[in-house]
Structure 1
Amino acid sequence: MINVELAQLLDRTGLTVLDHLELQVAIPVIDGLQAQGDLIIIPRALVPVVTEDSWARWSPVPRAGVELVRGANGANPHTLTADPGTCEWTIHVHEPLRLAIALIRNTAPVHLVHPEHGGTGIAPGEWVVRRQQERGTARFRSTSTLVCD
């Protein structure tokens, strides 16, 4: 698989990242479990409990991208980008833990872009996108919080 540089990906998509990131770095395409900030990308075969709802609609991912999740203060979106005709996604997912926010299926490498973290490449396949959850303990009950960076 051919890696692209972050600058090339930003030129193609119109997305931006913060100034502290190196733009000439090659973005690796990973065929396995990976994380970007508070999102975890998992091969779908590893989490068979995650299913698409019976009414699920799959939508194409455009080159300009789709926001999978946005940070708590309304900034720093995680944006999935793809070349036309290579990827589709749905948010109509069911998972007992309620951490899955989307399913992705792609026939070519796609990229996840974040202003603070830069980019990561996702190899062709089927993927579950999950949010990160932090567990805390109160004196008499357990608490959990979804992370938004």
Structure 2
Amino acid sequence: MFLAELLDRTGLDVLDHLDRQVTVPVIDGLQAQGDLIVLPLALLGRQPRDWWELPAEGRELVRGEAGNNPHTLVADRGTCRMTTWLKDPEQLAIAAFENTAPVWLIHPEHGATGIAPGAWFVRRQREPAAGFRKPALVAD
């Protein structure tokens, strides 16, 4: 799918400098987008609960620190269920989802990435600690 087609289908937008004629890749594995990372659900080690169908308009997972640049998860109706009811010992997990067709993570500055069918969770990324400093969240 081309980025332009995905944006037309979802009503979302990206910054003008991004090429809308690029094919959005669908990746079957770990992937990062700014301050988020998508990981196989099995790595969480616990089964989430209270799943619901991803709404047709998608779901905003997180916004940048200044309240801008949301990361939005979108999918065709009936192909993705999700939950935010997660037990994550590091408290970085935001949502988990299971999809039977590609889902799309869209961000105004980064464009979009496709996530192959499977079971996944999304969490914040952390910068490695240096010296005695505590690890910090990656800022987008």
| TM-score of the pair, normalised by structure 1 | 0.87
Amino acid in the other structure paired with 1:148: A
Q: Is the 8 A contact 1:31 1:122 kept in 2?
A: yes
RMSD: 1.4
Amino acid in the other structure paired with 1:90: T
Q: Looking at CA atoms only, which structure, 1 or 2, has the larger radius of gyration?
A: 1
Match of 2:137 in 1: 146
Q: Is the 8 A contact 1:77 1:114 kept in 2?
A: yes
Deviates more, 1:81-90 or 1:129-138: 129-138
Could you list the per-position Cα deviations for residues 88-132 of structure 1 after superposition, in whole angstroms to 9, with x for gaps in the alignment? 111110111222111110011110000000000001100011110
Match of 2:27 in 1: 30
Q: Percent identity?
A: 59
Q: Which has the higher strand share?
A: 1
Q: Is the 8 A contact 1:67 1:77 kept in 2?
A: yes
- The equivalent position to 1:125 in structure 2, one of 108, 118, 123, is 118
Amino acid in the other structure paired with 2:64: G
Structure 1 runs, 4 residues or longer, greater than 4 Å off: none
Structure 2 spans left out of the alignment, 5+ residues = none
| TM-score of the pair, normalised by structure 2 | 0.93
Structure 1 spans left out of the alignment, 5+ residues = none
User: How far did residue 48 of structure 1 move?
Assistant: 4.1
